[in-house]
């Protein structure tokens, strides 16, 4: 038999997710609702000798959606055939917002879904200066009212036991105005099996996804004939219910002084100050990135060494051959490349979820919205964009906090333009190669170019956001209204779940795509189609019989790479990269940097037969690589391969191109669609190509 | 006589009663969150350069923020 489904429904900021975490513990997973980018949190709990499936619905104020997230709530509750249609709804409220929650509860009950009512955060009731008459509330709602405090677990067991309750039939309190009656009668004919309120909801919704074309056309015809819009019906209902509930609530909830809000007010006077508010915010951002780097670097170095020694040990144990190479250079190196991101992701999300838990994140939106809105972004986009300067992978994941689907999508699409840490080694090498070490207006020219590249990243992100905001259509008008919740200490359980959720999502979700691509790239670089690859050594000795042993092995590695599948691919794309001023060797670099941009330097070292271990930070090794690269002649033009024109062109290409499979993998996971992932890759790489082409042709 | 003013003219610290909400321009969410005629509000914060406005809704005791472009459609009486 199917598990009974329990859905948690409630306003934002009522502690619904804390409650969900308390109920399901670690038996939960996060996915997407089929076909859309809305996050679905689902878990299980064993109680009353049954297993319940618990769903944490997106936070909403009513069943009239203003975003894709909220649309899911209506679909799940109103469509009995929906896979997640609940057997029981738990309406979660908090002492301050009982009135709004009552309205949500009424809507759910009148749609015909059984529901119970919970007042969460009950421990704050004194601080918030409230008193509640539970008997009258129960009587009014026609259900039992439960009280919980998700922070300390109070009342959770009683609530889980109540999952068996199915409150009796509910009588609607909502009266449909006389002027809409004739329209309603007509609509009822379209839906003979539905109740009056369900039919009214069909009329009051903008778009009911689960109805068929004919039914939708019928509803539209009725609305057109009677000349009213769904907006009008929604507002009529909202006003009437509010009026009713306001009257009633006077006898149930008694207000005294809200101590919590007055403390919050004092803090806000500083944190939302027109000057100090920004100073504090940017200082905080600075500290966050410092922490992400300084705390993560030693752990990342440790992981790096761990995998290096793991690879060495495995290679020593296994007999030499393709299997050993695949396991060490392909699989283990691939896994190492995934795990290395974990410290950064975990630390970033630890800090971000603390900002969310304390209530500071809403203040960030308040401060930044003005500056990002002109580009079609949202105040919350600032976190992903700034994190993008570290690494696009955790940054894209941070965009989950943006409710508006369109703004979230645009944020994710433009975040990889920000100059990430992996681009830095490439920039260092290329700038040293092609930009003269001179001063310009008292500043080092090389440093200025590096700065310009960072600024270019920001500009590219903002401008493409602006373009995308004009192109991407949305059914939900952009507006911004949100609560600034009272400040409080973080619920560490929530922080813990959040960090675990994001980190494991990256490890297991994006990780498998990264691993697959690492293995493919390894295979391409390690096998060749003919004996020039397998017999590289004899070919090299034949051409240069006088090489020493070290030189020989380096020459062989370079010859092998040239005649591997990857090498032939590099030559294959040469016609495409020729207009940008690159030769096939740079082509190999471009392809292999898909594994991760920093691989470019290593590949260049192999191509120019220096051995793979080049440390750009080591002055001497850097000079060796640089002098090799400097003396390289592009066989197409006969000029140095790295001249000003091709160097600038390559720098610009790296600045714009989507060239990181980890980012592609995380985009696929976060958007849940290949469409946007591919569009982003094509858009970025296309832009990179065009800009690099123009730069090369102009400077040539 | 009481004047009909847009919410945006209120200064920080000023209290007023919402008299009307131009519902043509604003989704029902504004009503649901508590911006309803008859409710007393107080402007608590304003982000610089026409940024969002922070309001305290007295009757429901919550602090909300909205963009200035939307606040223009909410009318108040002092």
Count of helix runs (H) and strand runs (E) in chain B: 2, 6
Interface touch A261/B52, C-beta < 8 Å: no
Region A570-596 average pLDDT: 84
ipTM of the complex: 0.94
Residue with tokens 């610009």: A652
Residue among A235, A261, A486 whose CB faces B31 most closely:
A235
- Give dist(CA A195, CA A85) in Å, integer: 17
Using left for φ > 0, alpha for ψ between -120 and 50, and beta otherwise, residue A403 falls in alpha
H/E stretch holding A177: none
- pLDDT, mean over chain A: 85
- Give dist(CA A495, CA A358) in Å, integer: 11
Residue A251's SS3 state is: coil
Give the tens place of pLDDT for each residue, A251-300: 888 877 677 778 898 999 999 999 999 999 989 988 887 787 788 888 98
Using left for φ > 0, alpha for ψ between -120 and 50, and beta otherwise, residue A139 falls in alpha
- Give dist(CA A384, CA B44) in Å, integer: 28
- pLDDT, mean over chain B: 87
Interface touch A103/B32, C-beta < 8 Å: yes
- Give dist(CA B21, CA B15) in Å, integer: 17
Question: Does residue A624 have a pLDDT over 90?
Answer: no
A524 and A407 in a common domain: no
Region A188-194 average pLDDT: 89
* Helix spans in A132-204 (H): 134-141, 156-161, 181-190, 196-204
- Give dist(CA A420, CA A469) in Å, integer: 24
Give the tokens for residue A485: 């919740």
Question: Nearest-CA distance from A526 to chain B in Å?
Answer: 57
Residue A318 CB neighbours (<10 A): 13
Residues of A in contact with B65 (CB under 8 A): 362, 365-366, 480-484
8 A C-beta contact, residue A107 and residue A238: no
8 A C-beta contact, residue A48 and residue A161: yes
Region A462-477 average pLDDT: 84
Domain termination residue (choose one: A164, A179, A212): A164
8 A C-beta contact, residue A400 and residue A355: no
Considering only CA atoms, which of A434, A251, A278 is closest in space to residue A369? A278
Give the tens place of pLDDT for each residue, A540-566: 888 877 777 777 777 787 788 888 888
Q: Which of residues 87-116 of A touch B (CB under 8 A)?
A: 96-97, 99-100, 103
Largest Cα separation within chain B, whole Å, is: 32
Residue A50's SS3 state is: strand
Least confident of A84-98, A174-188, A400-414, A683-697: A400-414
- Give dist(CA A156, CA A254) in Å, integer: 25
- Give dist(CA A348, CA A355) in Å, integer: 11
Question: Does residue A38 have a pLDDT over 70?
Answer: no
Residues of A in contact with B51 (CB under 8 A): 366-367, 369-370
φ and ψ of B17, to 5 deg: -105, 135
Q: What is the pLDDT of residue B32?
A: 84
In a domain, A203, yes or no: no
Interface touch B29/A61, C-beta < 8 Å: yes
Interface touch A366/B26, C-beta < 8 Å: no
Nearest CA in chain A to B21: A235
Mutate to test the interface with A, among B13, B28, B30, B62 (most CBs of A within 10 A): B28
A528 and A407 in a common domain: no
Q: What is the DSSP string of A219-234?
A: HHHHHHHTT--HHHHH
* Residue A580 DSSP label: G
8 A C-beta contact, residue A57 and residue A76: yes
Question: Nearest-CA distance from A215 to chain B in Å?
Answer: 24
8 A C-beta contact, residue A408 and residue A396: no
Nearest CA in chain B to A483: B64
H/E stretch holding A13: none
Nearest CA in chain A to B70: A479
Measured CA to CA in angstroms, residue A515 lies from A30, A244, A598 at distances of: 22, 58, 17
Residue with tokens 């900002």: A355
Long-range contacts of A182-190 (CB under 8 A, 24+ apart): A182/A226, A183/A222, A183/A223, A183/A225, A183/A226, A183/A228, A186/A222, A186/A225, A187/A218, A187/A219, A187/A222, A190/A215, A190/A218, A190/A219, A190/A222
Q: Greater confidence, A525 or A83?
A: A83
Question: Does residue A410 have a pLDDT over 50?
Answer: yes
Interface touch B44/A239, C-beta < 8 Å: no
Measure the CA dihedral A218/A224/A225/A228, to 10°.
120
- Give dist(CA A26, CA A43) in Å, integer: 8
Region B23-44 average pLDDT: 85
Q: Which of residues 20-59 of B touch A (CB under 8 A)?
A: 23-24, 26-34, 36, 44-52, 54, 56, 59
The count of C-alpha atoms lying within 13 angstroms of the C-alpha of A588, restricted to the half-sphere facing its C-beta, is 25
Q: Is A459 exposed, middle or buried (0-12, 13-18, 19+ CB in 10 A)?
A: exposed
pTM over 0.90: no
Nearest CA in chain A to B30: A481
The answer regarding whether domain B5-77 maps to CATH 3.30.465.10 reads no
Share of chain A above pLDDT 70, in %: 93
Q: What is the pLDDT of residue A145?
A: 93
Question: How many domains are there within chain A?
Answer: 3
Give the tens place of pLDDT for each residue, A197-256: 999 999 999 888 899 999 999 999 999 999 888 888 998 899 899 888 888 888 888 877
* Residue A400 DSSP label: G
Domain that holds residue A518: 511-641+658-676
H/E stretch holding A334: helix A333-339
Considering only CA atoms, which of A9, A43, A38 is closest in space to residue A111? A9
B30 pLDDT tier (thresholds 50, 70, 90): confident
Domain termination residue (choose one: A143, A164, A185): A164
Question: Does residue A429 have a pLDDT over 80?
Answer: no
- Give dist(CA A496, CA A534) in Å, integer: 51
Question: Nearest-CA distance from A139 to chain B in Å?
Answer: 22
Interface touch B54/A366, C-beta < 8 Å: yes
Nearest CA in chain A to B51: A370
Measure the CA dihedral A352/A358/A364/A367, to 10°.
-170
Question: Does residue A168 have a pLDDT over 90?
Answer: no
Q: In degrees, to the nearest 5, what angle opens at C-alpha A389 toward C-alphas A386 and A391?
A: 110
Question: Nearest-CA distance from A366 to chain B in Å?
Answer: 6
Residues of B in contact with A97 (CB under 8 A): 60, 62
A365 in reach of chain B (CB within 8 A): yes
Region A418-447 average pLDDT: 81
H/E stretch holding A40: strand A39-47
Question: Does residue B1 have a pLDDT over 50?
Answer: no
Residues of B in contact with A73 (CB under 8 A): none
Q: Going by DSSP bridges, is the β-strand pair B5-6/B74-77 parallel, antiparallel, or unpaired?
A: antiparallel
A554 in reach of chain B (CB within 8 A): no
- Give dist(CA A27, CA A160) in Å, integer: 15
In a domain, A576, yes or no: yes
Residue among A96, A234, A268 whose CB faces B45 most closely:
A268
- Give dist(CA A397, CA A692) in Å, integer: 29
Residue A417 CB neighbours (<10 A): 25
Give the tokens for residue A29: 């997973």
- Give dist(CA B40, CA B23) in Å, integer: 18
Residues of A in contact with B59 (CB under 8 A): 246
A159 and A20 in a common domain: yes
Q: Which residues contact A387 (CB under 8 A, 6 or more apart)?
A: A289, A292, A348, A394, A395, A398, A415
Residues of B in contact with A479 (CB under 8 A): 26-27, 29, 66-67, 70
A245 in reach of chain B (CB within 8 A): no
Considering only CA atoms, which of A306, A303, A404 is closest in space to residue A345? A303
Interface touch A100/B34, C-beta < 8 Å: yes
Measured CA to CA in angstroms, residue A431 lies from A426, A462, A639 at distances of: 8, 25, 18
Interface touch A486/B63, C-beta < 8 Å: yes
Give the tens place of pLDDT for each residue, A365-406: 899 999 998 998 988 898 889 878 777 888 888 887 676 778
Q: Is A323 exposed, middle or buried (0-12, 13-18, 19+ CB in 10 A)?
A: exposed
Q: What is the CATH number of the domain that holds A102?
A: 3.40.50.300
Question: Does residue A613 have a pLDDT over 60?
Answer: no
In a domain, A465, yes or no: no
Give the tokens for residue A177: 């105005």
Q: What is the pLDDT of residue A456?
A: 93
Domain termination residue (choose one: A418, A434, A464): A418
Interface touch A99/B62, C-beta < 8 Å: no
* Residue A38 DSSP label: -
Give the tens place of pLDDT for each residue, A479-496: 788 889 889 889 898 899
Give the tokens for residue A188: 């009822």
Give the tens place of pLDDT for each residue, B45-78: 999 999 999 999 887 778 999 999 889 999 999 8
Q: What is the pLDDT of residue A37?
A: 57
Measured CA to CA in angstroms, residue A24 lies from A17, A196, A346, A449 at distances of: 10, 36, 22, 52
Give the tokens for residue A638: 């006969």
Measure the CA dihedral A542/A545/A551/A556, to 10°.
10
Interface touch B32/A64, C-beta < 8 Å: yes
């Amino acid at each position: 038999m199917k598990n009974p489904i329990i859905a948690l429904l409630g306003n934002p900021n009522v502690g619904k997710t804390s409650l969900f975490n308390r109920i399901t513990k670690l038996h939960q997973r996060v996915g997407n609702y089929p076909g859309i980018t809305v996050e679905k949190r689902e878990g299980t709990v064993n109680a009353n000798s049954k297993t319940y499936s618990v769903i944490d619905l997106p936070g909403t104020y009513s069943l009239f959606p203003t975003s894709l997230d909220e649309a899911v709530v209506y679909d799940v509750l109103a469509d009995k055939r929906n896979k997640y249609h609940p057997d029981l709804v738990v309406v979660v409220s908090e002492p301050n917002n009982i009135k709004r929650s009552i309205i949500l509860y009424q809507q759910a009950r009148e749609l015909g879904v059984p529901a119970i009512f919970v007042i969460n955060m009950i421990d704050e009731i004194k601080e918030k200066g409230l008193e509640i008459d539970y008997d009258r509330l129960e009587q009014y709602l026609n259900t039992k009212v439960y009280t919980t405090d998700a922070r300390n677990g109070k009342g959770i067991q009683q609530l889980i036991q109540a999952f068996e309750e199915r409150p009796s039939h509910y009588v609607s309190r909502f009266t449909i105005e006389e002027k809409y009656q004739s329209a309603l009668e007509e609509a009822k004919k379209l839906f003979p099996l539905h109740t009056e309120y369900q039919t009214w909801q069909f009329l009051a919704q903008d778009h009911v996804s689960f109805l068929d074309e004919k039914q939708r056309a019928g509803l539209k015809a009725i609305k057109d004939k009677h000349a009213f819009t769904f907006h009008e019906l929604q507002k009529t209902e909202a006003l009437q219910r509010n009026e009713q509930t306001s009257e009633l609530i006077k006898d149930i909830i008694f207000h005294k002084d809200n101590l919590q809000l007055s403390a919050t007010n004092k803090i806000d006077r500083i944190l939302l100050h027109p000057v100090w508010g920004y100073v504090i915010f940017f200082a905080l951002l600075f500290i966050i990135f410092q922490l992400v780097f300084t705390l993560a670097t030693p752990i990342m170095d440790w992981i790096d060494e761990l995998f290096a020694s793991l690879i060495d040990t495995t290679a020593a144990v296994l007999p030499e051959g393709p299997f050993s190479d695949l396991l060490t250079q392909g699989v283990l190196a691939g896994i190492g490349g995934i795990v290395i991101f974990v410290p950064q992701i975990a630390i970033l999300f630890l800090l971000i979820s603390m900002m969310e838990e304390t209530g500071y994140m809403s203040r960030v939106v308040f401060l930044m919205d003005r500056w990002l809105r002109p580009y079609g972004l949202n105040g919350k986009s600032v976190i992903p964009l700034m994190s993008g300067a570290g690494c696009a992978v955790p940054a894209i994941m941070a965009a989950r906090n943006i409710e508006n689907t369109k703004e979230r999508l645009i944020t994710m699409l433009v975040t990889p333009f920000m100059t990430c840490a992996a681009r830095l080694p490439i920039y260092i090498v290329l700038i040293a190669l092609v930009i003269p070490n001179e001063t310009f207006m008292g500043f080092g020219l090389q440093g200025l170019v590096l700065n310009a590249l960072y600024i270019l990243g920001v500009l590219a992100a903002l401008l493409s956001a602006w373009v995308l905001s004009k192109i991407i259509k949305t059914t939900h008008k952009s507006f911004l209204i949100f609560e600034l919740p009272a400040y409080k200490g973080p619920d560490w359980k929530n922080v813990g779940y959040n960090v675990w959720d994001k980190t494991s999502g990256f490890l297991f979700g994006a990780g498998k795509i990264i691993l697959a691509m690492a293995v493919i790239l390894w295979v391409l670089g390690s096998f060749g189609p003919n004996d020039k690859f397998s017999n590289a050594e004899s070919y090299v000795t034949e051409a240069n019989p006088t090489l020493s042993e070290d030189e020989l092995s380096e020459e062989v590695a370079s010859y092998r790479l040239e005649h591997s599948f990857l090498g032939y691919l590099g030559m294959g794309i040469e016609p495409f990269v020729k207009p940008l001023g690159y030769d096939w060797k740079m082509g190999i670099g471009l392809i292999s940097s898909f594994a991760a941009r920093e691989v470019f330097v290593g590949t260049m070292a192999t191509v120019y037969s220096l051995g793979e271990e080049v440390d750009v930070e080591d002055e001497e090794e850097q000079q060796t690589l640089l002098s090799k690269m400097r003396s390289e002649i592009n066989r197409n033009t006969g000029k140095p391969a790295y001249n000003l024109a091709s160097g600038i062109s390559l720098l610009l290409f790296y600045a714009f191109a989507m060239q990181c499979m980890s980012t592609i993998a995380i985009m696929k996971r976060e958007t849940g669609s290949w469409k946007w992932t591919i569009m982003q890759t094509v858009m970025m790489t296309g832009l990179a190509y065009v800009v690099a082409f123009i730069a090369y042709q102009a400077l040539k | 006589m009481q004047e009909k003013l847009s919410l945006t003219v209120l200064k920080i610290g000023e209290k007023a009663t919402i008299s009307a909400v131009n519902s043509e321009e604003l989704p029902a969410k504004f009503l649901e969150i508590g911006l309803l005629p008859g409710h007393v509000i107080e402007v608590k914060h304003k982000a610089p350069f026409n940024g969002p406005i922070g309001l305290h809704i007295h009757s429901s005791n919550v602090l909300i923020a909205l963009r200035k472009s939307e606040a223009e459609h909410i009318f108040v009486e002092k």
